[in-house]
Amino acid sequence: MGGAPCIRGTRIPVATVVAMLADGMTVAEILAGYPQLTEDDVRDALRYAAASVDERELPVRFSA
Q: What is the pLDDT at residue 53? A: 82
Is residue 14 within 8 Å of 48, Cβ to Cβ? Answer: yes
pLDDT tens readout for residues 2-58? 778 899 999 999 999 999 999 999 999 999 999 999 999 999 999 999 988 876 676
pLDDT tens readout for residues 25-41? 999 999 999 999 999 99
CA pair distance 45, 13, nearest whole angstrom: 9
Residues written for the chain: 64
Query: Is pTM, for the whole model, over 0.85?
Result: no
Q: What is the DSSP string of the chain?
A: -TT--B-TTSS-BHHHHHHHHHTT--HHHHHHH-TT--HHHHHHHHHHHHHHHHT---------
